[in-house]
Amino acid sequence: MLSKITNRISTVIKNDIYITRLIALMLIWLVFMGFFRFEKFYTVINFQTMAAQFPEFGLMAFGIMLCMILGGIDLSVVGVANFAAIVGAITLKKIVGVDGEMLGIAIPIVFIVGIIIGAMAGAVNGFLISIINIPPILATLGTFELFTGIAIVLTKGKAISGIPFGFSEAITGRLFGLIPIQLLIFLAMALVITFLVTKTTYGKKLYLTGTNITAAKFSGVKTTKIIIKTYMISGISASLGGLIMLANYNSARAGYGTVYTLQCVLIVVLGGINPSGGKGKISGVILAIFVLQMLASGLNKIPEISSFYIPLIWGGVLVAVMVMNYFTENKKIKL
Amino acid sequence: MSIRLKKLLRHNEFYIFVVILLLSFLIQSRSGQFYTPNNIVDIIAALIVPGLFAIGAFMVIVSGGIDISFPALASLSIYTTTRILVDIDYQGGILLPLVLTIIFGAVLGAVNGFLISRFKLQPLIVTLGVASMFRGFMQGVLKSVQIAVIPKGMSEFGTSSLFVAKNMETGLTSRMPTAIIILIITLVVVYFILNHTMYGRGLYAIGGNEISAERAGFNVKRIKFFLYVMVGIISSLAGLIRVSMMTQCHPTNMLGMEMMIIAGVVLGGVAITGGAGTLKGCMLGTILIIIVQNSLILMGIPTFWQGFFLGMLIIVGTGVSALQVKRLNSPKKGKGGDKYA
């Protein structure tokens, strides 16, 4: 019995080094926090706070993940998120009166508007990459500037505040007083993306295009369509992240969340997605999101480490993971 | 059409030059302020720091990589230099700061170079991580704060000028900073390296096809390593000039410049996939970006449109060159395609 279990575990370890590594990292960190900051870390409120925080960037990371599986990258996610949040905020202010009437209709409308913005932004990215043939890095860098630019023009560079409280209350509320609504939105999107990638032909085509776009073309995959679709999903995911940001801060500004680009790339690489495309699993990315949030929240509980160290730690972890990946991949080739 | 003219029309540099001319005429007609001695000098002075950054970014892009860590690298390098010099109460000239920034730049650049050449990692992601590390190191470990008073040697260098241009009508004057000499020297040196040395050929060869370059006998690892060291030095120099010209050291002031710089380089017709592009184009693209930034005010457009225009410029500029590549590579139009593809 015991040998069976260890056997099972060893096959898992052999099959997916990335996920094993993440679980190990998470366990080590949990034990570490248990020893040094038990009363502060292991509380319901802390876990609820964490669950309310990671959906923002987790949703953006999903977008980058899909594009990276495709062999590209989407650096515009933060721009799309802010753009959607600002348009959402403007819509909300237009519909809802001062006394908070019409809120029931306003929230779905805001989400629909946000998703349409995300889809359109993604379609622009996809068009530039697949039809005009601009390399993904540049196209999405350009659209990042463009969407942020439009967002700045819409707000004249200022933050939009004075948003009706109802929206923020509804999204940052907790189901049964326990589960944050943001988490539910995140999980819903995670399910949709998992379904798309693992159960549909779209998923198969996505991996094939990411592995070898020429081969995919010659096997009859309409690569242009796949690329546009993928960037659209990325845009939608990012716009949902933006709407959650809007609810969390109860304001919108073009400059919010600029650190998320790096953080999302870190998550995706940590989760075992190969930047050259065609490889990686969603479960790894979801796990990486959890790990990163736990690291960030845990570090917050240690006042000796100033928050200025966080970029150093993120960057260091990213580079270390890339170097580790180099060694694991090379071992595979030698075998 | 003569071959010469045909060749000219093929180059992106030509179009970017035309765009710059048209834009300048437009600004001139709207404001009457473009073709004035002081505005021209202002634009050249504003070009020094982005120009140096662009030279570094250009070299990396030619090699098929991309570097987005140079503003962070320059910030860390110049902050460390200024901190040390202020702490020892340095009173001398510009020479020691220059040497120190070059050393720090080389060391920090070597970090990028080592990671990218030794482990064959993706430059975009490595430099993203390294940029974050540099920033964290500066703000966390060094606890960076704004240094309001920099060593006298540096501020004297930054505020000294070669000559002063005066607008006869308005009486406005602009100084041509001495630091322009560093930009010119760097341009000459890099031009020589790229066009007249084996190392330069190697850089283009790696950008074209890394495996072929290795087979042809280039030491790819060494070329890449020294490339990032060089870029570190050039970026550091840009940081030194920026701090000297502002006469104070603001640690996070340069962060976020990378997008604009890369946009300029790519606008100048440098292929983002590597292997093609000229220093001339790189500088023209950067000048275009500087003009757009400096002249929105002259045209009476609120500055918050800047991001929008920058984004459009990147997309249109890269789009045009991407379409050109596509047309050259498509088998149907064989006429010119065969020759140049």
Q: Each residue of B38-49: pLDDT tens digit?
A: 888 888 999 999
Per-domain residue ranges for chain B? 41-255
**B66, B126, B311: residue with CB nearest A322:** B126
Q: Is-contact A179 A52, C-beta < 8 A? A: no
Orientation of helix A309-334 relative to helix A282-300, angle to 10°: 150
Is residue B239 within 8 A of residue B134, CB to CB? The reply is no
pLDDT exceeds cutoff 90 at A82: yes
- Per-residue pLDDT band for B337 (boundaries 50, 70, 90) equals very low
Residue A245, pLDDT above cutoff 70: yes
* Tens-digit pLDDT profile for residues B305-335: 888 888 888 888 788 777 877 777 765 544 4
Nearest Cα of chain B lies from the Cα of A33 at a distance, in angstroms, of: 22
Mean pLDDT of chain A: 85
Cα-to-chain-centroid distance, residue B320: 21
| Domain assignment present for A41 | no
Does some domain include residue A241? yes
**Residue A289 located in a structural domain:** no
- Arithmetic mean of pLDDT, A173-179: 74
Domain-embedded: residue A292: no
Q: What pLDDT does B78 receive?
A: 93
pLDDT at B326: 75
Closest residue of A to B273, CA-based? A135
Whether chain A has a CB inside 8 Å of the CB on B171: the answer is no
Q: Which residues of B touch A147 (CB under 8 A)?
A: 311
What integer pLDDT is reported at residue B334 of this predicted model?
43
Residues B187-203 have pLDDT tens digits of 999 999 999 999 999 99
Chain B CB within 8 Å of residue A306 CB: yes
Judged against a pLDDT cut of 90, whether residue B163 lies above it is answered with no
* Residues from chain B contacting residue A136 (CB–CB below 8 Å): none
Instruction: Give yes or no for residue A332 having a pLDDT over 70.
Output: no
Residue with more model confidence, B234 or A269: B234
Output the pLDDT for position B10.
Answer: 67
Residues of chain A with C-beta less than 8 angstroms from the C-beta of B66: 137
Cβ <8 Å between A322 and B326? no
**Average pLDDT value for residue range B222-249:** 93
- Whether the pLDDT of residue A249 is over 90: the answer is no
In A225-264, the residues whose Cβ lies within 8 Å of chain B are 254, 262
Q: Tally the domains of chain A.
A: 1
Task: Give me the domain span that covers residue A231.
Answer: 54-258
Q: Is residue A64 part of a domain?
A: yes
Among A residues 183-202, those touching chain B with beta carbons less than 8 Å apart: none
- List CB contacts (< 8 A) between A316 and chain B: 129, 133, 136
Of A153, A306, A313, which is closest to B305 when you measure between CB atoms?
A153
**DSSP SS3 for B89:** coil
B68 three-class SS: coil
Region for B214 from its dihedrals, namely left if φ exceeds 0, alpha if ψ lies in -120 to 50, beta otherwise: alpha
Q: List C-alpha distances in Å: A229 to A221, A268, B54.
A: 13, 20, 34
Distance from CA of A273 to the nearest CA of B (A): 12
Instruction: Please indicate if any CB of chain A lies within 8 Å of the CB of B136.
Output: yes
Dump pLDDT digits (tens) for B103-125: 999 999 999 999 999 988 888 88
- Residue B184 structure tokens: 């010119």
Residue of A78, A129, A133 to mutate, testing the B interface (most B Cβ within 10 Å of its Cβ): A133
What is the SS3 string spanning chain A? CHHHHHHHHHHHHHHCHHHHHHHHHHHHHHHHHHHHCHHHHCCHHHHHHHHHHHHHHHHHHHHHHHHHHCCCCCCCHHHHHHHHHHHHHHHHHHHCCCCCCCHHHHHHHHHHHHHHHHHHHHHHHHHHHHCCCCCHHHHHHHHHHHHHHHHHHHHCCCCECCCCHHHHHHHHCEECCCEEHHHHHHHHHHHHHHHHHHHCHHHHHHHHHHHCHHHHHHCCCCHHHHHHHHHHHHHHHHHHHHHHHHHHHCCECCCCCCCHHHHHHHHHHHCCCCCCCCCCCHHHHHHHHHHHHHHHHHHHCCCCCCCCHHHHHHHHHHHHHHHHHHHHHHHHHHC
Least confident residue range of A33-47, A63-77, B76-90: A33-47
- Using alpha carbons, select from A85, A26, A23 the residue that is nearest to residue A293: A26
Does residue A314 lie in a domain region?
Answer: no
> Within a domain: residue A244?
yes
Indicate if ipTM > 0.85.
no
Does residue A295 form part of some domain? no
The answer to whether A145 contacts chain B (CB < 8 Å) is yes
